[in-house]
C-alpha cells in the first residue's frame, strides 16, 4: 500500500485534494479527526493537555474546550506554547494513525493519505512513501478559514501567522499542488500524480 503524507497550511484545501483521489482507491486518514476522537473522556491525551494548559481548558462535562485551548495557545504568540501542544498530542495521534493505516492495508487499500498539517514537524514523513503539500495564496486561505471555522479576520490572520510559510513545504515535500480555484481545476494535477505514483483505478 502506498502511504502518502499530505500536508500544507490551514485553508489550503488538503481535504478537497484527498477527496479527489478516493475514486482511484486512495483513502485518507485525517489526523485532526483522529485527534478529536482521542479527546473523548476518559482520555490520557486529554489528561495530559489539562495538566499542561490548565483545567480551565475543560468543559463542565470533562470534554476539551477547543476554542479556549486555541485562544490560549495562539493568543500568547509563544512558540513554547504551540510546541508543548504539539509534543503532547503527536504521540497519541501518530500511534492511532499507524493502527488505522494497518487496518486499511489489511483491507487491500491501494493507497492512503495521512492528512497531517504537522507532517514534517512530527517526523511522520519518514514513515511515508512520498509526500504531497497543498498550498494556496494567503487571501484565498484567509477567506476559506473564516468561512469554515467562523472566525473573524484577526483571528484567522493570527492562526495563519502561527504557521509555516510556503517555502517550508516547498523545501520538504516531494510533490506540490497549488489549490487556488475549484475542485475541477485540480483534476489535471490528480492525473499527474496518479501517473507519477503508478496508481491505476
Of 15, 33, 12, 30, the C-alpha closest to 119 is 30
Q: What is the pLDDT of residues 74-125, one digit of tens each?
A: 776 668 888 888 889 888 999 999 999 999 999 999 999 999 988 998 899 9
* Stronger pLDDT, 158 or 81, i.e. the higher one: 158
The DSSP code for 164 is P
Q: Which CATH architecture has domain 2-188?
A: 3-Layer(aba) Sandwich (3.40)
Least confident of 3-7, 25-29, 50-54: 50-54
HEC string of 124-149?
Answer: HHHHCCEEEEEECCHHHHHHHHHHHH
Cα separation of 107 and 112, whole Å?
Answer: 12
Domain ranges of the chain: 2-188
At 76 the pLDDT is 63
Query: What one-character DSSP code corresponds to residue 178?
Result: E
Question: What's the N-to-C CA distance of the chain in angstroms?
Answer: 14
CA distance 80 to 66: 18
State the pLDDT at residue 46: 92
pLDDT tens digits along 129-149: 999 999 999 999 999 999 999
Amino acid at each position: 500500500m502506498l502511504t502518502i503524507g499530505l500536508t500544507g497550511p490551514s485553508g489550503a484545501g488538503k481535504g478537497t485534494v484527498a477527496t479527489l483521489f478516493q475514486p482511484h482507491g486512495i483513502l485518507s486518514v485525517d489526523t485532526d479527526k483522529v485527534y478529536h476522537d482521542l479527546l473523548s473522556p476518559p482520555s490520557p491525551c486529554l489528561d495530559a493537555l489539562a495538566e499542561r494548559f490548565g483545567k480551565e481548558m475543560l468543559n463542565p462535562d470533562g470534554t476539551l474546550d477547543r476554542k479556549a485551548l486555541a485562544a490560549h495557545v495562539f493568543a500568547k504568540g509563544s512558540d513554547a506554547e504551540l510546541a508543548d501542544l504539539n509534543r503532547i498530542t503527536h504521540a497519541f495521534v501518530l500511534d492511532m494513525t499507524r493502527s488505522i493505516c494497518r487496518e486499511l492495508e489489511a483491507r487491500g487499500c491501494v493507497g492512503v493519505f495521512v492528512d497531517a498539517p504537522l507532517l514534517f514537524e512530527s517526523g511522520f514523513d519518514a514513515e511515508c512513501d512520498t509526500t504531497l503539500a497543498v498550498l494556496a495564496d494567503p487571501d484565498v486561505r484567509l477567506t476559506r478559514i473564516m468561512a469554515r471555522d467562523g472566525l473573524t479576520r484577526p483571528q484567522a490572520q493570527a492562526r495563519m501567522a502561527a504557521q509555516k510559510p510556503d517555502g517550508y513545504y516547498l523545501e520538504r515535500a516531494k510533490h506540490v499542488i497549488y489549490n487556488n480555484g475549484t475542485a475541477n481545476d485540480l483534476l489535471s494535477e490528480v492525473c499527474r500524480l496518479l501517473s507519477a505514483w503508478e496508481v491505476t483505478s
